[in-house]
A and B are shown apart, each in its own frame.
Chain A
Amino acid sequence: MIHIFSYRDNHYIYDTGSGALHMTDRETADYLRSKEGEEVDLSAISPEKIREIESDVESLVREGLLYREEVTTYPPKSTEIKALCLHICHDCNLRCRYCFADEGAYHSVREKMSAETAKAAIDFLIENSGNRKVLEVDFFGGEPLMNLDVIKETVRYAKAEAAKRGKRFLFTTTTNALLLDEETIRFFNEEMENVVLSLDGRKEVHDAVRKTVNGKGSFDAVIGKVKQFVQLRGDKHFYVRGTFTAKNLDFDRDVLFLADSGFDSISMEPVVTDLSDLQIREEHLPAIKEGYDRLCDAYLERYAAGKGFNFFHFNIDLEGGPCLSKRVSACGAGNEYFSVTPNGDIYPCHQFAGDPAFRMGSVFEKKIDGSLRAQFRDSCLFTRKGCEHCFAKFICSGGCNANNYHYNGDINVPYAMTCEMMKKRIECAMHILAQKKLAKE
C-alpha cells in the first residue's frame, strides 16, 4: 500500500512494501489519492501531466519502490533472551502524580533488590541467551539510585560473567536525577551505555506533577544535576525524557525549553494514567498534533541554523533501519525481554510488573511460564487488529503490548490514541528526513 500525505505544502508518498519515501508535487499527490479512492477534483490536471505521472509510477513500480507487495510472513521468533529490566528499587524519592508504578511501590511493598537477586537475574539472562553476544540490562525503579551499591555490584558481576562466556553487556539507567552527584556521573560515564533522565520541561510544568515526598515541586532540586550530568557526559548516549499530560498540550514548548537548557538529546512521551485531570483523551488529539507540527517546524529551523537537537520520535531510518524480524516483533517483551522485580519475580515488562496475572516465574525458579510466553511470542505485527490497513505498521510494529492491554484488555488490539500520535510523529519524521536530505543537495 502507499500513504500519501502533505506537510506545509510538501507532498510525500510512502510505500509500505518497499519502505521507500518519495517526494512529489500537488498534482501527482492528488492524482494518486484519487487512484486510492479519495474524492479529489482532478479537472485542473492536464492529460499530458497524467501521462507523465503514470510513466513515473510505472518506472518506480519496475524498480520495486512503489506498490510493492508487502511481506506477510517472517521467520520464527528466537527464544533467546537478550534483555532484562531490573527493578533495582521499588521505592522512590519523588511522588510524581502520574506514576504508573504507584510512586515506586508497584502496588506492593517498598523494597530494594538485593545483590543476590540481581546476580541471579544476570545468571538467568546469560544462561538463557543462547548465541546472543550482546545482552542488555536496564536499571529501573522506582528510583534506581536509591540502591546504587547494588547497581555497581551487579555491573561488576555481569561484566565478569559475560567475559567468561564471550558476551558483552550494555547497561542503561533511568533516573529522576535527584541523587546524582559527580561520583555517580563518573560511574555512569564509565559503565552506562545509555542514561535516561526524567525532566518534564518548564519549571511550572515539571513542578505541577513531579513532587517531592513533602509535596513540593522537584524542578529546582534536579535541573542543576541534569545540567552537570550532560556537561560531563561528552558524546555518550543519554536522553532527557519528559512526560506530557492534558495540562501541557503545548508540550512542544517544553521540548524547546529542554533544548534551550543545553540538552540536545530529548524525548517527550504522552502520559499513561487514569487520573482524569492529566489523562490524554481523544478531544486532546488536535492540539497534540498541532504541537508536533510546531515542534517539527522549530526542529527544522534550528537544524538550518546549526542549532539542531535530537528528538527521539523524529528519528527515522528508512535506509538502514531494523531488520524485518525486529519490525514485526517490536520490543520483544514477554519473549526476549523481561522485567525482574526486587523479589526476583519475572514479568513481560515493567508496565506489567506487580500484576499477578502476568507473573511469569522467578529468576530463582530458573524457568518461565510457557503459556504466557507463548502468548507474547505468538503476538506480532501480523496478529495486531487493524494494523494491516495502516501505513505505519512496519515502523511502529503494532504498538506497545502493555498499552494495548491496559487500554483494550488485549495485547493484540492497538490503542487508537497511541496510533494517532504515532502516525503524526512518523509523518513529521519523514518530512524532517526529506528536508534534511534536500538541504544537503
Chain B
Amino acid sequence: MSQPLKPITDAQLSSEGLELRDNGRVLLIACGALAREILALINANGWTHIDLQCLPAIYHNEPSKITPSVKATIEKYQPEYAEIFIVYADCGTGGQLQRLCNDMGVSMIAGPHCYSFYEGNTDFQARQELTCFYLTDFLVRQFDAFFWRPMGLDRHPQLLEMYFGNYTTLVYQAQTQDPLLEAKAQDCARRMRLAYEYRFTGYGDLAATLFAVADNR
C-alpha cells in the first residue's frame, strides 16, 4: 500500500474519501470514517499486500449512496485484486449491501454499524441499549459537520427535542485514549442535553476481522 503524500484531513475523509492503492493483492473498500483506524492497523502490522480505498464518510448521513458506490468501486477494481473486502457494516442499507456482496462474491465486516463492531457485535447486541446515541473518535471530531449542522441545530435549536427527545445518553466509544476528544464528546452530550458515558472500545471486531483478511494470503 502506498502511504499518503500529505496529512489526511477529516474533511477529506468526509467528502472525498481516500485512495491508497499500490500493488497490493487485497483491496479494502471502506467507509472514510474508518480510514485512520484501518491505516493504523495496516501500518502497525506491516500489511503491505493490502490496499485501501475509502468512500466519503458523509454517506453515513445518506446510506442510500453506500451500496451503489461500493458496487461501482468493486466493478472498477475487481480485475486488479485477488480479493476485495468491504469494511462497511450494514450501515442503514437495510441488507442491500450484504446482498450486493453476496452477488459479487466479496465479503464484508459483520454487524449493523461501526458502533456495534467497535464494541464487539456480541457485546453490543447484549447491551440492548435503545436510548443511547453513539459517537466514535471520528464522529466526535466531526460532530458539527455530521450532526449539528446537517440537522439544522445550529440554526434551529428548538428542533433538539424533536430529534433527540427519546434519547437518554451519549456514549462515546473511544478507539484511542485522548483527553481532548473525551472533553469534546462530553461537550457534545451537554449540547444534546444527554447524559454522558465514556466507553473505551479500541478497534473491537474491526481488528480481529482485518487480521483474518490479512492472514488469508
Chain A partners chain B: no
